[in-house]
């Protein structure tokens, strides 16, 4: 999605979010290490569906004007973000109950829920730039 974003502000937000997500994964890995467990990646059907949907949005976006294409990307990113928040919150809540990992990075790092708010801000900016369909313009 980083490469598909056309506006610099959105591209930078996606890059920032990727770094935050990588830090969250490192924190969860640290929790497993403290428990003496091996981390095993398991395919997530829900996330796979979101990724597939995102790929479709990016393909369709190639034919759209810049603001409309990025607005579609924002919608996809927000669905992914909400899914990530849910999964990370669950992992963090479980980790906080285990004395062995209570002080780990996973438990100390606050969950960054502001990505959704930042995506909303970018979306509002793009809405003023996007060419609205004629039906919406006539309704006004």
Other C-beta atoms closer than 10 Å to the C-beta of 20 total: 15
CB burial of 74-110 (b: ≥16 within 10 Å; e: otherwise) equals bebbeebbeebeeebeebbeebeeeeebeebbbbeee
Mean pLDDT of the chain: 80
Give the tens place of pLDDT for each residue, 66-109: 988 999 999 999 998 888 888 777 777 777 777 766 666 665 55
Q: Where are the domains of the chain?
A: 8-130
Architecture of domain 8-130: Up-down Bundle (1.20)
pLDDT at 105: 62
pLDDT at 139: 42
């Amino acid at each position: 999605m980083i490469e598909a974003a056309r506006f610099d502000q959105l591209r930078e937000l996606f890059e920032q979010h990727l770094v935050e997500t990588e830090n969250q994964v490192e924190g969860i890995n640290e929790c497993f290490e403290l428990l003496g467990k091996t981390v095993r990646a398991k395919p997530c059907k829900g996330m796979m569906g979101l990724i597939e949907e995102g790929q479709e949005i990016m393909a369709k976006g190639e034919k759209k004007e810049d603001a409309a294409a990025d607005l579609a990307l924002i919608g996809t990113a927000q669905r992914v973000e909400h899914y990530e928040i849910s999964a990370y919150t669950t992992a963090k809540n479980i980790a906080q109950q285990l004395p062995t990992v209570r002080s780990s990075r996973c438990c100390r790092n606050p969950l960054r829920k502001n990505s959704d708010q930042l995506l909303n801000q970018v979306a509002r900016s793009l809405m003023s730039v996007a060419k609205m369909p004629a039906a919406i313009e006539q309704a006004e």
